[in-house]
Structure 1
Amino acid sequence: MVLLKCDLHVHTNASRDGESSVEEVIASAIAAGLDAVAITDHDTTEGAIHALTLKNPGIMIIPGIEVSTKQGHLLVLGTAQVLAPKQDVLKTIAEAKALGAVTVIPHPFHRWRHGVGLKCRIALKDVDAVEAFNSRYIIGTANQKAAKVAKKYQLPVTAGSDAHNCKYVGFGVTEIDAEERSVEAILAAMRAGRITCTCKKTPLRTYTRQSWDNTVRKVRRRVPKFRHRPRRRMVHRKK
């Protein structure tokens, strides 16, 4: 058996709100002493696929995706397959498992970050694990509630930095007791619950700025662009 340090929830600039390239994320993961990093961009596996094409990245790459389901976000680990967004979360979980992927509900009780647990708690019984240590928090009550519910349902808990900037990769570390150094062994150990977690908080200033920037992006996508209306030409008539 070998103990492997992993960050199971990381974004690159393949996500609309990601700020760092795949190469920058990998470099930070190595600097943080990680053995593996999961690339889990929002509704795309572009970043994960790019990471897998790199020669000798120096770290194990776990391909993944953070799917925006009808009820909230779902992490799918161990596949580069894109799953359709906006589906019922239970359907997405079933599709992910059919692919042989590991399913994790991230930040399940965070009210402003699409927590599945707020709208469909039954989904917590169907996944392989629950993220109970997410570094992007203010007071930590959502993490505590996630840990409590995971214990109730006898589910493994994971940690993830949920980093949207490479500086914070490794702020959420999942230590996995795997049979060997491979992605397949990591996923198998997760299903078996051979996991311990550590987490430290993303600086509040950074979290607040990123949240604000994300809100602005959403508003700009939804509100039609202001169309400039030409000024009316004033006509002066002779008296």
Structure 2
Amino acid sequence: MDSGDFSRRTLLRAGGVAAAAGMLPGVAFADQPGGSGSQTRTVTGTLKPDVPDWYYLPVDVPRGVRQIDVVYSYDRPTVPAGTRGNACDIGIFGPEGHDVGNARGFRGWSGGFRDRFSISASEATPGYLAGPVKPGRWHVILGPYTVAPQGLNYRVDITLTFGPDGTPFKPNPAPEAAPARERGRAWYRGDSHLHTVHSDGRRTPDQLVADARAAGLDFIVSTDHNTSSSQLVWGDHAADDLLILNGEEVTTRSGHWPAIGLPAGTWIDWRYRAADPRDFRRFTDQVHRAGGLVTAAHPFANCFGCTYEFAYELADLVEVWNGPWTQDDEASVIHWDGLLRGGRFIPAIGDSDAHNPDQRVALPHTVVLADRLRRQELLAGLAAGRSWLAESASVQLDFTVSGGGASAGIGERLAAGTGTPVTVNAVVAGVPGTTVTFLDQLGPEHTEPIGDSGAATVTWTTYPRYSRWVRVEVRRPSGGPNTTVPNAMVAMSNPIFLGTGH
């Protein structure tokens, strides 16, 4: 079937929110005599550069189907320098519906990482949800990420295999505790932005667990793009010395925002842009009702659709450091510091965003003070800003302030009078060849170099009259082994607030 060129639009409505999308002519399958064998239908067509973000291909599935297989391809014509070529994502919704926010209908997403997928009652391709192939109208979703001036020629092959269902898939989420790493109220190290083969990562869950343990982490958050499939299998790969939390990197055309600390099986929709803030608020509210947190990811990443364009006031965390230190991270820290100076404190977080084995897990990661190594307590520590960011587990930082007979730590407030002298104290280790800098709302205030031993205690005195808050950065002037950018970050803290204000 040739679907030709399409400009027909439909509105997908859910809760009063509308998202523009295209609808392709559908395909239908006949009942299979004898209830065995398979049928294949093929759809081809062209998408022009002025298409919407999503196209839906209806597939009418009869009774008695055991498995659905989809294979797709598209052309990649040569384009002039500076012009975007073709890239197209794919996923699928079941007969329960494909309206925006319909988690019951969602059956999987692989973006542009795979050219095929399968779903049956017993198993599914990573990124997709196993379960019965129910009769009714399914929808293959095509997401033309970028389209060349010549257009995007595509082909979709859909195969239905008939027969009885196999043994039903049984979800096995990760355990809710990691007793070998439990230390009560303590500082816990975690990487909250990681990918596996369930989206566009090259690590299997087993490989990610092994690398996280080797990096000295206490917890990780699995954040595969736009799917909840990995959340249902982490129990097959968990160890008692690593807590695995669930998440999803909600990957929209207006930026990425990892939802972290979700109950297993939670799916968050991504079919909207920042132009309509109602959509973003609707789904951030969903995350918060589920007990999770919203992260503004890599705000200045230099790739189409990666730069964060949504409202910061709806985010719980800002990922100011993503992977090896780059100028993008520098811009993120400057922007985050500007929000802080303007009176808006959104705690900073650092994550590796590791996809492939050559990308180091825990470079960087976040060290959070929590009452115990459990989801609720870790998220509470992150949301309060009781955390600091580190290049590796060898980096140690203890940052406090004291004055007027009281003391405070990261994310806390020292309620001292404006004229009370406040001693700012940072104890560092594992940071040879770096500098330690104290900053307040005026910028850098005090800097000391750290020698070859990599360990030192740095102090400085200020007053609440002059400093509304203080924070610390540890940088390596030479850049170092993890980056080519000079003055690279090695560790940084969230602020400690001074004075009696709120």
Q: TM-score, normalised by structure 1?
A: 0.75
* Distance of aligned partners of 1:69 and 1:177 in 2 relative to their CA distance in 1, 3 Å threshold: same
Over aligned residue pairs, what C-alpha RMSD do you find?
2.2
Relative contact order (alpha carbons < 8 A, sep ≥ 6): 1 or 2 greater?
1
Which of residues 158, 178, 200 in structure 1 aligns to 2:370?
Answer: 178
The structure where strand makes up a greater share of residues is 2
Identity of aligned residues (%): 26
* Distance of aligned partners of 1:142 and 1:43 in 2 relative to their CA distance in 1, 3 Å threshold: same
For the residue of structure 1 that corresponds to 2:383, the secondary structure is helix
Cα deviation, residue 155, structure 1: 1.0
Q: Say yes or no: does 1:102 pair with 2:285.
A: no
Task: Letter of the 1:126 partner, please give it.
Answer: L
Tell me if structure 2 keeps the 8 A contact 1:133–1:199. no
1:32-81 Cα offsets, whole Å, 9 max, x none, are: 11000111000112223311454545300011010123421110011130
Q: Measure, in 1, the Cα distance between the counterparts of 2:335 and 2:187.
A: 26
Q: Which runs of 5+ in 1 are unaligned?
A: 205-239
For the residue of structure 2 that corresponds to 1:78, the secondary structure is strand
Instruction: Kindly report which structure 2 residues correspond to 1:7-18, keeping only aligned pairs within 5 A, or say none.
Output: 7-15=191-199, 17-18=200-201
* Distance of aligned partners of 1:55 and 1:129 in 2 relative to their CA distance in 1, 3 Å threshold: closer
The structure where helix makes up a greater share of residues is 1
Q: Measure, in 2, the Cα distance between the counterparts of 1:78 and 1:128.
A: 12
Q: Which runs of 5+ in 2 are unaligned?
A: 1-184, 273-278, 393-480, 485-502
Q: Measure, in 2, the Cα distance between the counterparts of 1:202 and 1:164.
A: 16
Q: Which has the larger radius of gyration?
A: 2
Instruction: Kindly report which structure 2 residues correspond to 1:2-81, keeping only aligned pairs within 5 A, or say none.
Output: 2-15=186-199, 17-54=200-237, 56-79=239-262, 80=264, 81=266
Aligned residue in 1 for 2:336: 150
Aligned residue in 2 for 1:91: 282
Q: Measure, in 1, the Cα distance between the counterparts of 2:482 and 2:305.
A: 19
Tell me if structure 1 keeps the 8 A contact 2:247–2:260. yes
Q: Measure, in 2, the Cα distance between the counterparts of 1:135 and 1:113.
A: 18
Q: Measure, in 2, the Cα distance between the counterparts of 1:57 and 1:114.
A: 37
1:107-162 Cα offsets, whole Å, 9 max, x none, are: 01113063343x33xx112111000010156xx22212222232313111111110
Q: Say yes or no: does 1:134 pair with 2:325.
A: no
* Distance of aligned partners of 1:203 and 1:144 in 2 relative to their CA distance in 1, 3 Å threshold: closer
1:173-197 Cα offsets, whole Å, 9 max, x none, are: 1000111121221111011111100
For the residue of structure 2 that corresponds to 1:73, the secondary structure is strand
